[in-house]
Structure 1
Amino acid sequence: LKGYKKLRLSFVNEGRMSTGYTSYIRKHLTRATFVDITNEIDEFKAVKSPEELERIKVSAHLHDEAMKACAEAIKPGVREFEVTAWGRYKARMLGSEQQFIHIGSSPQGNPVRYSSIHAQNRILQDGDQVVILIEANEAAGYYTHLHRHFCIGSVRDETREHHELAKEAQKFTLDLIKPGAEPMEILKANNEWMESRGFEPETRLYAHGQGYDLVERPSFQVGETMKIQAGMNVAAHPTVSTKLGTGKLCDNYIVTETGLSECLHKFPQEITVV
């Protein structure tokens, strides 16, 4: 490329690249004009074609089936990694090439958090609560993700209360997602809702788009400039947590001209007793 007198180059998402790589190119292509078209590429990725939307629905079905496989493996005496292994196996058999399956467990009456893959060694006990998050692609490479809550034996009142609050929090965000809406304004409204009920505001990425990447724009976080558009595949997963429990849901939806589609996942949102 050094031989070209007029050259326009773009690093897409340069912040994720090695600085040594980009510095070398800038140093040796002194005649080049560098432009940033990351936003334009992100816009292309964010709005899905009809064919892409069909693959995303396939991905949602894969997650339902993988979650069923996990549910069937939950019982006293089983270790956490054994549960996620069955989910990963089911996803692979349905064509997935990459799966992140997170699991957490604890006695009810306590908050519950995910264990990293190398730490999924806790033995499940009667009366435990188990939370599972599946993040996988389907055979064509498209991602969705799904989080569900399980209890072994029965559900305690405080566990159910946290779960119902999580459902309410998710619905609050979903009701605000429609073409033209601004993610930062939705984040602000969500945090006001959280604080009004005594919960900590979200400081993480609690809602975002998905497609060929596990996390795509629009991102519901500070600094996002992309507005919601029809044809986006979005998911919301707000979390409520106290000393007595944790509530969370994660589901995917397609943005329509007037709001959101029905939930793409069919696995019940209620706490599943095993």
Structure 2
Amino acid sequence: MSVAERIRRPISDRELNRRWAANRDLMKEQNIELVLTQGNNMHLGGYVRWFTDIPAEYNLHMTVLFPIDEPMTLVRSSASRIPQWALRGVKEVLYAPFAPTLNYTADSEAGLVIDYIRKRNPKRIGWIGKASITAGLMEKVVTAFPNVEFVDITNDFDMIKALKSDEEMEYVRETARIHDLLWAALPAIVKPNMKEYQIRAEVAQLAADLGSEEHLLFIGTAAPGKPCGMSTFQYANRTVKEGDYGILLIEVNGPGGYYCESARNFCFGEPFKELQAAWDVAAEAQQLTADLLTPGRNANEVVAKYNAFVSERGYCQEGRLYGHSQGYDLIERPAFMIDHKYGKEDMEIRPGMNISLHPYFIDDVRAVYINDNYYVTETGAKKIHKTAPKIIVL
């Protein structure tokens, strides 16, 4: 059995070695002997896959212990064992029967990590993705080693992760190609009298057939003159009627696990005038901000210009994430959102980033959502998706 035989699109050994070398360079710069990161899902658990090409799944924690001078060690639930042939750059995997719903088993997970650290006796340990590491693990580790200095190196590591290699961008473009095929198929999928969840299911099946690893989709429909929004699966029982319009947000990854996201409005027949008017502004706003994706610019500036543009035209300003980078995680830095009193994005835009921009308008009579990905170059951003920025008429 081999990686090539069992994994549809494995990352190359060369790419993994590039990542490990970049991380060790960061460790040397910051005098760190060991880094620790953790994940528990595919959507927002990309740190562990970046190191291992193995995703954390099903909310079962997977911990990566990456020393500066030898292969890494993994800590994982014995309910989800990793085949030996899939381990690259891994010295050993420490297993125990733990799960987040079995609170007392957190001691087993932490105990494996503590035993590993005690054997190595590092003086300085770096956290990567501190917000993703469980409080139970972090508290127990810090308490067990009062003389060890723990530092959060996420900010510096995130820049390494945000800059995609040529190989990584091949995977990103394959994901975008899957999205484009899904949009091309949408008119053949959506029919009156279908439930929203049935539309979602057919799109998900096609995405899987095309090579997607998981299938995050949001859909909303409504009669003209009413906002449709975007529903999760929980709220997708509405029956679609002739004359309706809607939004579909596709956030599926591709083979290899890299994310893009795209969204379009769709409608039966020509769009009603309020929908088309809002769409035209949203598409123009997206292009305006895509043109601002130049090296050295701050993401906050992009959001400010977007909000000024749409506000002048009578549409709602963006208080959510207007955009963000993507890769193994659905949402990566830099994040494009207004400053918040509890945090501010300080990562500058750089060449090599895969950035998603998604204008969203909603009011009493309509909802509009357009979303595409852009690759940042030395001279500006190039759109990755090929689907035209138009409302899809069914």
Q: Would you call these one fold, judging by a TM-score over 0.5?
A: yes
Q: Residues 197-224 of structure 1, C-alpha deviation per residue, up to 9 Å, x if partnerless?
A: 2233211011100001111011012210
Give me the TM-score of the superposition, normalised by structure 1: 0.95
* Aligned counterparts, 1:192-203, within 5 A: 192-203=308-319
1:39 corresponds, among 155, 161, 168, to 155
Deviates more, 1:204-213 or 1:30-39: 30-39
User: Equivalent residue of 1:180, what SS?
Assistant: coil
Pair 1:271 & 2:391 matched: yes
Distance 2:348 2:289 in 1: 15
Equivalences, count? 273
Q: Residues 73-124 of structure 1, C-alpha deviation per residue, up to 9 Å, x if partnerless?
A: 1121111111111111111112211111111000112222011112211111
Distance 1:203 1:51 in 2: 34
User: Equivalent residue of 2:152, what SS?
Assistant: coil
* Aligned counterparts, 1:223-234, within 5 A: 223-234=344-355
Go from structure 1 to structure 2 and tell me whether the alpha carbon gap of 1:125 and 1:8 turns closer, same or farther (over 3 Å shift).
same
Q: Where in structure 1 do 4 or more consecutive aligned residues deviate above 6 Å?
A: none
User: Equivalent residue of 2:257, what SS?
Assistant: coil
Q: Hey, what does 1:205 align to over in structure 2?
A: 321
Give me the TM-score of the superposition, normalised by structure 2: 0.67
* Aligned counterparts, 1:163-242, within 5 A: 163-221=279-337, 222=339, 223-242=344-363
User: Equivalent residue of 1:219, what SS?
Assistant: strand
Identity %: 36
Distance 2:277 2:223 in 1: 16
Contact 1:165 1:240 in 2 (8 A): no
Q: Hey, what does 1:260 align to over in structure 2?
A: 381
Distance 1:147 1:77 in 2: 22
2:167 corresponds, among 30, 51, 54, to 51
1:22 corresponds, among 131, 138, 154, to 138
Q: Name which structure has the greater RCO, CA cutoff 8 Å, separation 6+.
A: 1
Kindly provide the amino acid, as one letter, of the partner of residue 373 in structure 2: N
RMSD: 1.4
Go from structure 1 to structure 2 and tell me whether the alpha carbon gap of 1:149 and 1:247 turns closer, same or farther (over 3 Å shift).
same
Shift in Å, 1:229: 0.4
Q: Which runs of 5+ in 2 are unaligned?
A: 1-116
Q: Which runs of 5+ in 1 are unaligned?
A: none
Pair 1:103 & 2:219 matched: yes
Q: Hey, what does 1:250 align to over in structure 2?
A: 371
Shift in Å, 1:241: 2.6
Q: Residues 173-214 of structure 1, C-alpha deviation per residue, up to 9 Å, x if partnerless?
A: 112111011001111222222322223321101110000111
Shift in Å, 1:4: 5.3
Q: Hey, what does 1:146 align to over in structure 2?
A: 262
